[in-house]
Amino acid sequence: MSHRGPLTAVITTVLGATLGGLLVWRVYRTRRKRLPSIQKVADPVEAPHPVEKEFTAAEYQYIQPQNLVEKEFKAVECQTAQLPPPVQIPSSEQLLGVKPVMVSSEEEWQQLWPLMQKELSVFPVLGLDCEWVKTKGVSVKGQVSAVSLLQMASYSGLCVLVRLLPFRSGQQAFPLSLIEVLRDPHVLKVGVGCYEDGKRLTRDYGLSLTCTVDLRYLALRQRQATVNNGLSLKSLAADLLNVSLDKSLELRCSDWEADQLTLEQMTYAARDAQVSIALFLHLLGLRSDAGPASSSGSSYSELAARCQGLVDVPFRGRGDGDDRAADGERRRRTRKPPTYESPESGDQQVPDPRKNNKRKPLGVGYSARKSPLYDNCFLHAPDGQPLCTCDKKKAKWYLDKGIGVLQSEEPFVVRLLFEPSGRPDSQQDYYLTAKENLCVVCGKADSYIRKNIVPHEYRRHFPTEMKDHNSHDILLLCTSCHAASNVHDSFLKQQLAEEFAAPQGCEEGVRLLEDSDRRRVRSAARALLTAGDGLPEQRREELQVLIKSFLNMNERQELTDEALQQAAGLETRIFNEAYVPHGLKVVRAHAEQGLLGLMDLERRWRQHFLTAMHPRHLPPLWSVD
């Protein structure tokens, strides 16, 4: 037993040391495996550098992308194994203080792209604007300048100025990553007139710009925004950010294709994109004083949900009758041709349509309801079975006629004294649920109006049983969402027009055709009555022959005043017997399949509304079917 004691102690010591060593080695290997994944975590976004009081144009312009990328790589190498702190959204002053980076080639873009890609992984949104050469003289019709400069700014203020002249006419190939980010449906592009900028990029370079949001719509939707001076980028920046933008004519009409852009040009161009992203963050309540965001920033779905119904919608607004513009900014006129070549949309002084509704611009000048749509009164059958909801006026009508009795005041319930023509199939019926008076898209509880999900131009041609007392397709939308929905509706209408050869257009203009022969005869008769002997002999004879031929008169017969009066009063418009309204033609095509075909048309419009607007506040039990 004396030998076993030391032997047991030795064995125990060896086993303990072995197990301890294995445990230490396992922990060490586990930490080494985790280290690369930790290094991939995005490091905290560097605080934007404030603008120096004085620096030269050369220093400003030649901030090379290579330096920025090298700096970024060094930051990654020095990263410790710690999770990044929450993202701190910079203030407007910090954001506007970041110096822009000029890109003139594919190589320079590729050097900068990793940093831009990292910024988008935190907040997938870009402030966007374009510049092109605008002449101070009268523009020549048909001669439209191509876009010269594309500005994009991320949430931290990093602004890229892409000179497009080197990529024009195939001189250089556009970087694939630049093409992809412009058309990426999960990266928002925000600005004033960015939808129109996308049209220019498509026209000039074949680039596709998608997922745009016009800040003017967003400002009008956010009621906390006080818009005092209009909806131009300059006005929004002054009202919401207390930032003054230089929109002088000299800068706007400067040479954007010069070999070297001046300091003032670069500041002007960068500010437009940086202010756009700053306005977006402000309007969504993502301000620096609101505290840090989550460590991963905001996903596209979160940002897009705040812009429901406003993505890829062109801004539609008309003036309030005042053509004057402040600080040289020019408002768009509908009839008078512009003095200068059309400026960028961000420079247009668009008046706030809420100030004057004499002329109602699309979307913001709609007349909102003065009273709630849903009173949520109930009608019950004689045995007490709920039948439907209705407004208070209709419920009181049954009481006034003596064919119903009041069951309760709150909620207002009327029990009918006669057997109704129909009863709901179950108690889980859409028409039995109380409905809220708010916008079904964004949830706004004021300034709402009714929206026909199936437009009236189609519904009016439905059979009676499909349109009588049917409120399933009538929902409430605020004025902004209503305008956006109408824009989306026009796309489906155009699609239906192409599918069923049912062109849209002015109904009167299509129904009535102008008879050119009758118009010429009428003009000739009026000329003879007014000018008479003042016309040259040859011309007078030509007009008389024309009128006699139309009236089937012999050339030797003399035109009397009565005949001239008859010809001068001719109706030149004739009814187009082949005319079929767009809505009727589409409905007829679906009606060939009976009621099921018409129900398919209903479902198509309902699904279109869901897909285009993404409503978050639909009434319970509302469905496509």
The predicted structure's pLDDT at residue 337: 41
The predicted structure's pLDDT at residue 519: 86
pLDDT tier at 518, thresholds 50, 70, 90 = confident
Please count the other Cβ atoms lying within 10 Å of the Cβ belonging to residue 105. 13
**pLDDT above 90: residue 100:** yes
* CATH code at position 108: 3.30.420.10
Please count the other Cβ atoms lying within 10 Å of the Cβ belonging to residue 145. 17
Residues ≥6 apart with Cβ < 8 Å to 79: 38, 39, 41, 43
pLDDT tier at 614, thresholds 50, 70, 90 = confident
Lowest-pLDDT range, 160-164, 342-346, 452-456? 342-346
CB of 282 within 8 A of CB of 270?
no
How does pLDDT run across 305-329, given as a tens digit for each residue?
788 778 888 887 644 333 333 333 3
End-of-domain residue from the set 571, 588, 607: 571
**pLDDT above 60: residue 617:** yes
- Domain contains 460: no
The predicted structure's pLDDT at residue 348: 43
- Domain contains 191: yes
pLDDT tier at 288, thresholds 50, 70, 90 = low
Residue type, position 279, single letter: L
**pLDDT above 80: residue 116:** yes
For residues 245 and 138, membership in a common domain is answered with yes
Q: How far apart are CA 489 and CA 216, in angstroms?
A: 21
For residues 261 and 392, membership in a common domain is answered with no
Domain that holds residue 525: 516-571
- Domain contains 132: yes
For residues 80 and 201, membership in a common domain is answered with yes
- Domain contains 355: no
For residues 217 and 129, membership in a common domain is answered with yes
**pLDDT above 80: residue 340:** no
pLDDT tier at 24, thresholds 50, 70, 90 = low
- Domain contains 474: no
Mean of pLDDT values over 5-27: 70
**pLDDT above 80: residue 45:** no
Average of per-residue pLDDT values in the chain: 74
DSSP 488-551: HHHHHHHHHHHHTT-----HHHHHEEE-HHHHHHHHHHHHHHHTGGGS-HHHHHHHHHHHHHHT
Q: How far apart are CA 310 and CA 557, in angstroms?
A: 69
The predicted structure's pLDDT at residue 244: 87
**pLDDT above 60: residue 579:** yes
Higher-pLDDT residue of 144 and 321 is 144
Residue type, position 59, single letter: E
pLDDT tier at 474, thresholds 50, 70, 90 = confident
311: DSSP letter = B
For residues 298 and 380, membership in a common domain is answered with no
- Domain contains 322: no
- Domain contains 19: no
Mean of pLDDT values over 340-359: 42
**pLDDT above 90: residue 149:** yes
**pLDDT above 50: residue 88:** yes
The predicted structure's pLDDT at residue 333: 38
DSSP 592-608: TTTHHHHHHHHHHHHHH
Q: How many domains does the chain have?
A: 3
Lowest-pLDDT range, 124-128, 169-173, 275-279? 169-173
Phi, psi of 258 (to 5 degrees): -65, 155
% of the chain at pLDDT higher than 70: 67
The predicted structure's pLDDT at residue 187: 92
How does pLDDT run across 414-432, given as a tens digit for each residue?
888 888 877 766 555 655 5
